[in-house]
Structure 1
């Protein structure tokens, strides 16, 4: 019999209150009908978007529609996430999806029509006082104009988009559906099937032979398909090259950073600064070797637990209390909203039958954000709570301070507030801890976040950069070339203290993020920015808190680099990454002290 409760068996105090969006499903239906009636009104603006008055009225109607569509979609899907098997909410979710598609089609003329204006006409709209609240939107449209093609060329590009998704689709099918790994022995010596899901569990095994066998089995499997995987990977790189040339970008890297208006120097600066700090990674690897008690540290040892699992039983109420306490440095203004969120129906706490797995923060403009959890009474769940509340309070402050269009912050900024909360929680726990075993457990937990989120993601980012640059220079890349580049990067990043096994050369073939090109660097920059913020807040107090609250309230009202810069984190300079590295160095020093 399942121990997971049914939805109706979960106490109301642990369920979110979606009535804050719509008080009833009747109210949802009424808003749906209003939206359906509004969509046809958009057609009246077609061919008229050259005057400020018409653009203003059109944008106002678009905003009204978009806000309602968001509310409809979010409510329907959050109801569905309570129990994915609920057919009533499956239908409601599909209804919301379809009306969003209809609205997108009806809105599709707006951007091309405005972009058909001359630069002088666009400037006149941008500087028109009547369109003041739409200035950033219009500036963004103008900025993209240089890379918009003729109508006939755009039609052709739209047809090509069906083909351009093929490398990702082929990789996904091969990786998730067709690839079969051999059976390996678990810690009890029983042969069990190796899967993507169980691989990390094997790497976290205390038994070194189990780790090694799983590691070798995974990369032997990828190696047996290296030609197909190499051709798929190269097809994705060549697709990127085609789009960059067709849309007149200087490089593929320039194209992928253009959306966030991030200079390529931010990307190269990240790599250069991490290179300067690789001796810290080498120190951490020596420490890992010492803690594991091995003569040689192999690649399959990098996820092995360094200390025995420290059992931290933390109830949900305790987690809430500790999170509140740990975020005291952010001041009363932040804490009052946090307390409201923790105690006023924002959070769906526990797992129930059919509930969506994982955790997220989501919501609709005009209502407070919500958080979905599947809480367990442990350390990980407490970190998940503070992480998701970081997202929620970022959205709350952005929505409160900005109009609809400027409230949505870009992905480049999305993980900063959540990771900052985690950094403050970790700082609080380390300062409170008196048990050396507990302290070492926390330090290794945090140090591994630096290793995987900053160093490893930067290594991925450097691999993407090298591969695309070589292709742009006319070089062809065989699977052997890709493996050679990847292996050399591992040697560089992990240093002489690690025996870099030949098998790792095939790891490039199993990273799905490489098919969402030049994305992974955002994990490293986001983590660095958050660590920099936390260091400033803990060192400076109120002035840094004020700057940080200004960041939260900025939403997407400016370009991400500018928003961060105003708040005291200049990602175009090495400083935030250096500040993060100084925190990492402090962790290593504390660990070295504990294991003398």
Structure 2
């Protein structure tokens, strides 16, 4: 079954966590000119103009249409049950697989629509209920089809091999080969059905954290540069940290983590429950560890994960050198954690409207060819994108969708450089999905999370290259270099630090240690000292940052940002150096979907992630950028 919402395989969150924040706050009507709210006001969903909202009617015309497909999905689940005990011949297996795809696609469409409606305003009880209904349905779908794999795998090795080679099952050959690979981790029919039934319990930690973080968590007001009191929200937090007024940055930083500290016991219990889930499933399915279970689906060896951490550790002196340069450019005696996003260029702001951002993104992606640009423009023109923040809207940015309709993109756009990069990042995801779906059948269209961040980050690399070459102003160039360096910091170094944190806390739990808020905070604080260096002031408040990272509820996910960034860096260099041949290889990658293992798909396109070389190449680019900054700073 392709669609597994419990594991969030279809949801592609935004890249660097600096781009991922909750947006909530007050109420205001848009002006006729801006069509959006000022920074200290947030629109109600009903006040957002239609052209700035995604058109979910492209999936379902209305809730009656949704309900009709819901009932059809329920009926199909009853039909598939008739195949229990009959999956021992090619004809029945093929018919059963066909029906499984139907159930999976319907469940995907229902789940995606309901949850995207929920994300428009997470306080709206109507779509909270529809989201819950879709989640329960996906559990039922998993349960209804849970007998298929174990029943087929109960056949003898000789029978299985015969099925793999049967012409009638040629379309499903890769499915059968993958089932055989996973045979040692598949349980009996009864056990698989039981695991499917407890699927709702497995979702609980993520659901609870999401509601606490997005709907219930409220922050005090802080004073902006003008001395005005403004409500602190996740969406405004990074903007405060980008303030030129150090007292504003410090106040926002301390207020944010003081608020989380008040909930530390609850959030620690939620995160610990998520880790317990992972360990439970890894033991039940006979994996050596939760980490290896998470890597197995992509057929990724543990060494890819550990090599990333080791390679980044080797390059930490470069990070420490960058921190020292940042201190000098800020002209402060000590660099604090709340100084990491402070602008390094005096009196230089890039005010970029959404319309300007779209045009610049389009220009920067010209190296990918006219066919790519045509689909990009289609997304811009046909309401694929939900643009601005509104009251209750889900945090951050993502690309999501269901097979058979175009992808959608959720943004919380601000008129700045960061939001322009978020736009190109998420459209990279969207076009990857579009091209995969257009060139692969449903069963093999879904690419893995391991591949997901490559296309999005490649778009960012091309945008940065375009802007650096276009710039003739020293201040602007320094500003752009700073931004690019911070992309490396947040996407490679920071995400690797997150990955190491996840690895440590799972190992501690697997050894029987309790994940108390005190232990989580100590582990997290010590990692910050390691990654940022002893010459930087690692403020004690940062020990609570683990409590606000939603990615920790999609465990062992974030390392893929770092590997994806490295692969994208390699692809960008090839495209800019070689032109058409490299573009053809890259577009072939985008069209491959999940038709082969991730490592193989990348290798065919010219990037070998089974070695540490792409990580080292990315670090060499980081070093070159650092040297350029140091030269400009003289």
Which bin holds the TM-score, normalised by the shorter protein?
0.7 to 0.9
> SS of the counterpart of 1:297?
coil
Q: Structure 1 residue 248 and structure 2 residue 280: aligned? A: no
Following TM superposition, by how much is the alpha carbon of 1:125 offset from its aligned partner in structure 2, in angstroms?
Answer: 2.2
Q: 1:285 aligns with which of 315, 323, 327?
A: 323
Change (3 A) 1:496 1:111: same
Following TM superposition, by how much is the alpha carbon of 1:56 offset from its aligned partner in structure 2, in angstroms?
Answer: 0.8
> SS of the counterpart of 1:206?
coil
- Per-residue CA distance 1:222-265 (angstroms, 9 max, x = gap): 66776776666556545544443332212222122122221101
Q: Structure 1 residue 543 and structure 2 residue 570: aligned? A: no
Q: Which residue of 2 aligns with 1:414?
A: 452
Following TM superposition, by how much is the alpha carbon of 1:71 offset from its aligned partner in structure 2, in angstroms?
Answer: 4.9
Q: Structure 1 residue 211 and structure 2 residue 238: aligned? A: no
Q: Structure 1 residue 565 and structure 2 residue 603: aligned? A: yes
**1:163-182 superposed matches below 5 A:** none
> SS of the counterpart of 1:209?
helix
Change (3 A) 1:541 1:104: same
- Separation in 2 of the partners of 1:408 and 1:583? 31
CA contact (8 A) 2:146 2:189 kept: no
> SS of the counterpart of 2:101?
helix
- Separation in 2 of the partners of 1:489 and 1:325? 39
Q: Structure 1 residue 44 and structure 2 residue 82: aligned? A: yes
Q: Structure 1 residue 124 and structure 2 residue 124: aligned? A: no
Following TM superposition, by how much is the alpha carbon of 1:341 offset from its aligned partner in structure 2, in angstroms?
Answer: 3.9
Q: Which residue of 2 aligns with 1:369?
A: 407
- Separation in 2 of the partners of 1:39 and 1:228? 38
**1:107-506 superposed matches below 5 A:** 107-151=145-189, 153-154=191-192, 187=225, 199-216=237-254, 219=257, 236-237=274-275, 239-308=277-346, 310-343=348-381, 345=382, 347-348=384-385, 351=388, 359-372=397-410, 378-473=416-511, 482-506=520-544
Change (3 A) 1:426 1:352: closer
User: Which has the larger displacement, 32-41 or 562-571?
Assistant: 32-41
Query: TM-score, normalised to structure 1's length?
Result: 0.84
Following TM superposition, by how much is the alpha carbon of 1:406 offset from its aligned partner in structure 2, in angstroms?
Answer: 0.2
Following TM superposition, by how much is the alpha carbon of 1:178 offset from its aligned partner in structure 2, in angstroms?
Answer: 8.3
Change (3 A) 1:159 1:348: closer
Q: Structure 1 residue 3 and structure 2 residue 21: aligned? A: no
> SS of the counterpart of 1:361?
strand
Change (3 A) 1:457 1:99: closer
CA contact (8 A) 2:70 2:110 kept: yes
- Separation in 1 of the partners of 2:483 and 2:201? 42
Structure 2 unpaired stretches of 5+: 1-27, 36-44
Following TM superposition, by how much is the alpha carbon of 1:324 offset from its aligned partner in structure 2, in angstroms?
Answer: 2.5
- Separation in 2 of the partners of 1:376 and 1:201? 9
Give me the CA root mean square deviation: 4.2
CA contact (8 A) 1:349 1:375 kept: no
CA contact (8 A) 2:219 2:259 kept: yes
- Per-residue CA distance 1:144-169 (angstroms, 9 max, x = gap): 32123345655665677676666667
> SS of the counterpart of 1:415?
helix
Following TM superposition, by how much is the alpha carbon of 1:593 offset from its aligned partner in structure 2, in angstroms?
Answer: 2.4
> SS of the counterpart of 1:558?
coil
Q: Which residue of 1 aligns with 2:561?
A: 523
User: Which has the larger displacement, 350-359 or 124-133?
Assistant: 350-359
The number of aligned residues is 594
Change (3 A) 1:439 1:155: same
Change (3 A) 1:157 1:30: closer
CA contact (8 A) 2:111 2:131 kept: yes
Structure 1 unpaired stretches of 5+: none
Change (3 A) 1:265 1:314: same
Following TM superposition, by how much is the alpha carbon of 1:368 offset from its aligned partner in structure 2, in angstroms?
Answer: 3.6
- Per-residue CA distance 1:383-429 (angstroms, 9 max, x = gap): 33322321222112111221110001122222211111111011101
- Separation in 2 of the partners of 1:491 and 1:10? 46
- Separation in 2 of the partners of 1:133 and 1:493? 48
CA contact (8 A) 1:184 1:192 kept: yes
Query: TM-score, normalised to structure 2's length?
Result: 0.79
Structure exhibiting the larger radius of gyration computed from Cα positions: 1
CA contact (8 A) 2:375 2:431 kept: yes
> SS of the counterpart of 1:307?
coil
- Separation in 2 of the partners of 1:319 and 1:267? 35
- Separation in 1 of the partners of 2:107 and 2:113? 10
> SS of the counterpart of 2:182?
helix
Following TM superposition, by how much is the alpha carbon of 1:563 offset from its aligned partner in structure 2, in angstroms?
Answer: 1.5
User: Which has the larger displacement, 110-119 or 428-437?
Assistant: 110-119
Change (3 A) 1:592 1:138: same
User: Which has the larger displacement, 323-332 or 225-234?
Assistant: 225-234
